[in-house]
C-alpha cells in the first residue's frame, strides 16, 4: 500500500505542476482522491511512495508517451506505466519488499472523504476541471444529480474543437506531419458528427460544463 501523507503528496503535486508549467489548483481535492481512490487499488497494493514519485517524474518528462497535462487519469496512467517498466523490475530486485497486510479503507469512508471535498472544490476560484467529470459520475451514482450533462454537448463541442485546433497548430509548428493528419482528421470527424453523445471528449467536457453550472446552495442541501 502506498504510504504517504496528504501534505507530502500535495508537495509532490505542487512540484510537478511547476515542472509542467501548469497552474496548481485544488491540491487537497486531487490528493484526497488519489489517496482514497487510486492508491488503494489492488494493482497498486505493494508499491512504495518512492516508486510513485519516480512514476510521476518519468510521466511528466514524457517517458511514458506524450504528456497531456496533470489530472487523475494521467497520474494513474503514469503509475501503471511504471509497473510495466524495467525500472520496476530493477527496483524489486534491489529492494525485496516485506509485504504487510494493512487494513483497507472502507467504501463508506472513501465516499465520506470524497463528498466532503466536492463543495470546496466547486467553490474554489481555480477549479480543477479534470476532476469535475469524476465528481459528476460520483454524484450521479449516489442519485444526487440527474444524467443531464449531455444537454451541454454543443458548448462542449466548441471547447473540444478549440483544443483540437490548438493541438493542430502545435503539430504544424513542430512540422510533425503525422500529428497534423491526426488532429485534422479529429477536427473533420467532430465537425461532421451527428452523434456527439458518443464521443468521449464531448462527454468529458459536457460533464465539466454541467458541474460548473450547478446551483451550489441546492447541491449543499442535497448532500447534507
pLDDT, tens digit, 9 for 90 and up, residues 57-66: 998 888 888 7
Same-domain pairing of 152 and 50: no
Residue whose C-alpha cell reads 450521479 in the numeric block: 140
Q: Which residue has the higher pLDDT, 203 or 20?
A: 203
- Residues 167-178 pLDDT 10s: 899 889 888 888
| Torsion, CA 12, CA 13, CA 19, CA 23, rounded to 10 | -150
Q: Which residue has the higher pLDDT, 104 or 52?
A: 52
Q: Is 84 within 8 Å of 59 (Cβ atoms)? A: no
Burial environment of residue 102 by CB neighbours within 10 A (0 to 12, 13 to 18, 19 or more): exposed
Same-domain pairing of 123 and 199: yes
Same-domain pairing of 212 and 113: yes
The answer to whether position 100 is within a domain reads: no
Q: Which of 94, 126, 160 is the last residue of a domain?
A: 94
The answer to whether position 101 is within a domain reads: no
What's the whole-number mean pLDDT along residues 175-188? 89
Please spell the DSSP secondary structure of 106-172, one letter per residue: PHHHHHHHHHHHHHHHHHSSS--GGGHHHHHHHHHHTTSS-S-GGGGHHHHHHHHHHHHHHHHHHHH
When divided into structural domains, the chain yields a total of 2
Q: Write out the residue range of the structural domain in which residue 169 sits.
A: 107-223
pLDDT in the model for residue 118: 80
pLDDT in the model for residue 66: 79
| Torsion, CA 213, CA 216, CA 221, CA 224, rounded to 10 | 110
pLDDT in the model for residue 97: 47
Same-domain pairing of 131 and 41: no
d(CA 103, CA 160): 42
Amino acid at each position: 500500500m502506498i504510504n504517504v501523507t496528504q501534505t507530502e503528496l500535495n508537495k509532490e503535486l505542487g512540484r510537478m505542476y511547476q515542472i509542467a508549467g501548469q497552474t496548481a489548483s485544488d491540491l487537497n481535492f486531487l490528493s484526497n482522491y488519489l489517496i482514497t481512490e487510486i492508491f488503494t487499488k489492488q494493482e497498486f497494493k505493494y508499491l512504495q511512495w518512492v516508486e510513485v514519485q519516480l512514476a510521476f517524474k518519468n510521466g511528466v518528462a514524457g517517458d511514458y508517451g506524450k504528456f497531456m497535462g496533470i489530472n487523475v487519469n494521467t497520474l494513474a496512467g503514469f503509475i501503471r506505466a511504471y509497473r510495466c517498466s524495467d525500472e520496476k523490475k530493477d527496483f524489486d530486485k534491489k529492494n525485496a519488499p516485506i509485504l504487510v497486510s494493512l487494513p483497507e479503507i472502507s467504501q463508506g469512508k472513501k465516499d465520506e472523504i470524497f463528498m466532503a471535498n466536492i463543495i470546496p472544490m466547486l467553490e474554489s476560484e481555480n477549479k480543477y476541471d479534470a476532476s469535475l467529470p469524476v465528481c459528476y459520475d460520483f454524484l450521479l451514482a449516489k442519485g444526487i444529480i440527474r444524467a443531464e450533462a449531455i444537454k451541454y454537448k454543443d458548448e462542449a463541442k466548441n471547447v473540444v474543437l478549440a483544443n483540437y485546433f490548438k493541438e493542430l497548430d502545435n503539430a504544424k509548428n513542430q512540422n510533425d506531419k503525422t500529428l497534423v493528419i491526426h488532429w485534422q482528421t479529429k477536427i473533420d470527424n467532430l465537425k461532421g458528427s451527428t452523434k456527439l453523445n458518443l464521443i468521449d471528449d464531448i462527454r468529458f467536457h459536457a460533464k465539466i460544463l454541467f458541474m460548473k453550472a450547478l446551483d451550489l446552495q441546492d447541491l449543499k442541501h442535497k448532500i447534507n
